[in-house]
């Protein structure tokens, strides 16, 4: 009887602690986020200060800040997934970016996304702003790539917008 009770206690503790232990990414997120930000800066020349044709989704970030932790983590993961998908479309040589720096940026974004995916179950994170983020990034892509038909000016606008997202996500995670 005592052995069964110990097993139950261990299972309960594991169930409570496992998400916390598997999500030790918070301790590494700052370093990886800083690295992404730095790589984004190195990718091309100076980041443009030109106004982006689509407003930044500050309301979406505000709503996510007020949500439960699982949705906050899903929001960060989904943002990183959308950024990763976006940058996988770029032809670095056509845009004039350093292909090695772009590859390193993609690797770090993928790593962050994968680590976050292990922290949340798909069932619990379903509906956590994923549809709204997908719509926003679709509009972002169309707005930027229509400016110069996917040329370097378009990608520089996207890089500028990505810089703002990475900075905002960095602050967002620090508040979790």
Rounded Cα distance, 28 and 79, in Å: 18
Phi and psi based region of residue 68 (left: phi greater than 0; alpha: psi -120 to 50; beta: remaining): beta
For 101-134, write each residue's pLDDT tens digit: 999 999 999 999 999 888 888 877 778 899 999 9
Q: Please check the confidence at residue 27 and state whether its pLDDT lies above 90.
A: no
Domain boundaries, the chain: 65-176
Rounded Cα distance, 124 and 63, in Å: 17
Residue 11, CB half-sphere, CA atoms under 13 Å: how many? 6
Rounded Cα distance, 75 and 127, in Å: 10
Whole-model pTM: value is 0.84
More confident residue, 70 or 21: 70
- Averaged pLDDT of the chain: 85
Greatest Cα pair distance in the chain = 72
More confident residue, 127 or 62: 62
**Mean pLDDT confidence for 121-148:** 86
Q: Please check the confidence at residue 99 and state whether its pLDDT lies above 90.
A: yes
Q: Please check the confidence at residue 53 and state whether its pLDDT lies above 80.
A: yes
Q: Candidates 3.40.50.720, 1.10.3720.10, 3.30.2350.10, 1.20.1250.10; correct CATH number of 65-176?
A: 1.20.1250.10
């Amino acid at each position: 009887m005592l052995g069964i009770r110990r097993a139950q206690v261990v299972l309960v503790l594991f169930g409570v602690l496992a998400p916390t232990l598997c999500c030790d990414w918070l301790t590494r997120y700052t370093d990886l986020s800083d690295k992404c930000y730095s790589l984004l800066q190195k990718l091309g020349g100076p980041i443009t200060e030109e106004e982006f044709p689509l407003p930044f989704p500050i309301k979406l970030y505000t709503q996510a800040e007020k949500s439960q932790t699982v949705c906050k983590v899903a929001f960060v993961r989904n943002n990183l997934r959308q950024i990763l998908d976006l940058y996988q479309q770029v032809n670095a040589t056509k845009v004039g970016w350093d292909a090695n720096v772009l590859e390193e940026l993609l690797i770090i974004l993928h790593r962050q996304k994968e680590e976050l995916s292990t922290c949340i179950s798909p069932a619990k994170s379903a509906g956590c702003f994923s549809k709204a983020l997908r719509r926003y990034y679709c509009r972002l892509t169309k707005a930027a790539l229509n400016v110069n038909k996917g040329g370097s000016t378009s990608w520089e606008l996207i890089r500028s917008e990505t810089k703002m997202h990475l900075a905002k996500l960095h602050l967002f995670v620090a508040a979790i």
